[in-house]
Amino acid sequence: SAVISQKPSRDICQRGTSLTIQCQVDSQVTMMFWYRQQPGQSLTLIATANQGSEATYESGFVIDKFPISRPNLTFSTLTVSNMSPEDSSIYLCSVGGGGQWGTEAFFGQGTRLTVV
């Protein structure tokens, strides 16, 4: 299994500002994923972040709003830019995708973001 640490665990931010969420994994992984869970709803994939390449965004998510970095095989960041109250969600980092992970995905504890 993987141990995934996310920082911060929660934050309250002013609208118009940006927040960068960090995801640290205790072993090297090829594929990392960022998901969003809006209040009372299910999880939606934002993007896939593979080391050495640009992140791939899902429909409805754009790089200007959610820039992602993946500088090495154990770390990634997701920035939520120019925030509005609609961005209030839980953001989760996930790793997995073949190899040592098999088919299983592991999740961090999430970052609970409130935008006021």
Partner 1 sequence: AQSVTQLGSHVSVSEGALVLLRCNYSSSVPPYLFWYVQYPNQGLQLLLKYTSAATLVKGINGFEAEFKKSETSFHLTKPSAHMSDAAEYFCAVSGRDYKLSFGAGTTVTVRA
Residues near partner 1 (CB under 8 A) are 31, 33, 35, 41-45, 48, 58, 92, 94, 96-98, 102-110, 112
Q: Which of 10, 24, 22 is nearest to 88 (CA)?
A: 10
The end-to-end CA distance of the chain, in Å, is 36
Gap between the Cα atoms of 31 and 11, Å rounded: 26
Please say which residue, 25 or 96, places its beta carbon nearer to partner 1: 96
**CB-nearer residue toward partner 1: 31 or 63:** 31
CB of 82 to partner 1, least distance (A): 26
* Cβ at position 69, least distance to partner 1 in Å: 20
Copy the structure tokens of residue 75. 């770390």
Q: 29 or 83: whose CB is closer to partner 1?
A: 29
- Compute how many other C-beta atoms are within 10 angstroms of the C-beta atom of residue 99: 9
- In a 13 Å sphere around the CA of 78, the CA atoms on its Cβ side amount to 31
CB of 102 to partner 1, least distance (A): 7
Residue with Cβ nearer partner 1 (60 or 84):
60
Contact yes or no for 94/107 (Cβ under 8 A): yes
Minimum distance of partner 1 from residue 16's CB (angstroms):
27
